[in-house]
Structure 1
Amino acid sequence: MYLKKIIYKRDEVPSVEKYPFSIPAVRTLEELELNTPITFFVGENGAGKSTLLEAIANVAGFNSAGGGRQHSFSIHADEVPLAPFIRLSWTKKIYEGFFLRAESFYQFASFIDSIEDPRKYSRYGDKSLHEASHGESFMRLFQHAFNKKAIYFLDEPEAALSPIRQLSLLRIMKELEPTAQFVIATHSPILLGYPGATIFNFDETAITPTTFEETDHYQVTKLFLENPNRMFRELFQDLDT
């Protein structure tokens, strides 16, 4: 464990009526304790999980556009207004790691291509990340660039991964877990099932710890798989003519 606690300096926020400070989960935040090597942020779109993850990664020293600490490139609207009001408490400050933003991974791959260094692809399977599908490039990153004694912030890593590839990511996480820490914002019930992980739910007024089985993601997926026809009947009932 490296990152131990996330503290929100709420008293210093100029206005709780402005986004992102107005997000209910952020508005009521005081602090979060990370007690396991794997922590998940879960919630509906707009609940604030990616917003908080981005701010944490930025305060930890990672570019808001994504990448490792040594990477510096820009994307549209890469300011992080929440970051100045986040303080991190470490058991041991760690400098190795990566911040994955699924939405800006294309720009990250282009940035790596632009580096004038013959060894630039050595951590990505020895070729451009653009020379693979979106999902394959994600896996190449996980397999070649992720190492032990590091901290990883992943924002919706499942966005480009098939269910099988998500299981492969879980195996990589398990291999690294003894000395690596992960903080992940996700919608994936597969990833959320990681044994022993801490899960924080952003859908309530306050961010609260929850269990895998209590998440909407697990419950909705379970109901659908058990009886998809019933789910379709309920979903489409007012559309039948």
Structure 2
Amino acid sequence: MFLRNIQLQREKVTSFSTYPFSIPAIHQLNGIELNKPVTFFIGENGTGKSTLLEAIADKCDFNTAGGGRNNVYDVDASESALGEYIRLAWLPKVTNGFFLRAESFYHFATHLDQIETGALEPYRAYGGKSLHHQSHGESFLSLFLNRFNGGAIYLLDEPEAALSPNRQFTFLRILHDLTKKGDCQFIIATHSPILLGYPDATILSFDNGKIEQVKYEETDHYRVTKYFLQHREKFLEELFAEEE
């Protein structure tokens, strides 16, 4: 374990009525204790999970458009609005890692193409070829399999975005292999009920205006998916009846 605690420095905030402090879960944030190698952030869109994950990336000096400490490029609207207002407590402090931002991964792949020109071993850490020359899902797995290793913290924003269900299971195996030695930490914002099933992970919900730990079976991701699979016809009948 590396990152132990996340604190909002409330004394620095001049107004809790402006973004991002107007987001209920951020507004109520004091501190979060992390005590597991894998922590999931969950919640509806707009509840602040990606905002906090991006702020952690900013404090780690990772590129908030996606990448590590040495990936320097710009993407519009990728600056962290929260980064300067949080404090991270480490034991020990690590500088290795990566921030995956699914929505700007295309720009990261383009950035790699630009810096790999003329390299002796182009794309060695990304499967041996341009990420643009792989399918979206293949490029994500190439990143996980080749770029990720021990002694690091990884911040992933919706890694399931490019992964089929079977590829999500592959990712779970990668997650297991990387964390079993005890020298990797993952914080993952996700909507995937498959990823959330990872054993012995902490799940933090940003719903209901606060950040609180929940069990897997208590998440809407589990309950809604389970109900849909067990009662698909009834579910769809009720869904479409609402439109009439």
- Asked if structure 2 preserves the Cα contact closer than 8 Å seen for 1:170 and 1:191, the reply is yes
Structure 2 counterpart of 1:8: 8
Is it true that 1:230 corresponds to 2:234 in the alignment?
yes
2:173 maps to a residue whose letter is R
- Asked if structure 2 preserves the Cα contact closer than 8 Å seen for 1:112 and 1:120, the reply is no
Alignment of 1:30-69 (within 5 A): 30-69=30-69
Report the Cα offset of residue 206 of structure 1.
1.3
Single out whichever of 74-83 and 111-120 deviates more from structure 2. Answer: 111-120
Distance 1:27 1:169 in 2: 33
Alignment of 1:133-212 (within 5 A): 133-177=135-179, 178=181, 179-212=183-216
2:153 maps to a residue whose letter is I
Report the Cα offset of residue 96 of structure 1.
1.3
Structure 1 counterpart of 2:100: 100
Cα distance per residue 1:163-218 (max 9 Å; x no partner): 01111000001001022100000000000010000000000221000011000010
Structure 2 counterpart of 1:72: 72
Distance 1:9 1:239 in 2: 45
Structure 1 counterpart of 2:125: 123
Name segments (4+ residues, structure 1) moved above 2 Å. Answer: 116-120
Structure 1 counterpart of 2:223: 219
> Where does the alignment leave 5 or more consecutive residues of structure 2 unmatched?
none
- Asked if structure 2 preserves the Cα contact closer than 8 Å seen for 1:200 and 1:208, the reply is yes
Report the Cα offset of residue 60 of structure 1.
1.2
Distance 1:132 1:217 in 2: 30
> Where does the alignment leave 5 or more consecutive residues of structure 1 unmatched?
none
TM-score by length of 1: 0.97
Report the Cα offset of residue 156 of structure 1.
0.3
- Asked if structure 1 preserves the Cα contact closer than 8 Å seen for 2:66 and 2:105, the reply is yes
- Asked if structure 1 preserves the Cα contact closer than 8 Å seen for 2:59 and 2:88, the reply is yes
Give the match's secondary structure for 2:126.
Answer: coil
Percent identical across equivalent pairs? 56
Report the Cα offset of residue 119 of structure 1.
2.6
Distance 1:238 1:96 in 2: 50
- Asked if structure 1 preserves the Cα contact closer than 8 Å seen for 2:65 and 2:79, the reply is no
Distance 1:36 1:22 in 2: 29
CA-based RMSD: 0.9
Give the match's secondary structure for 1:123.
Answer: helix
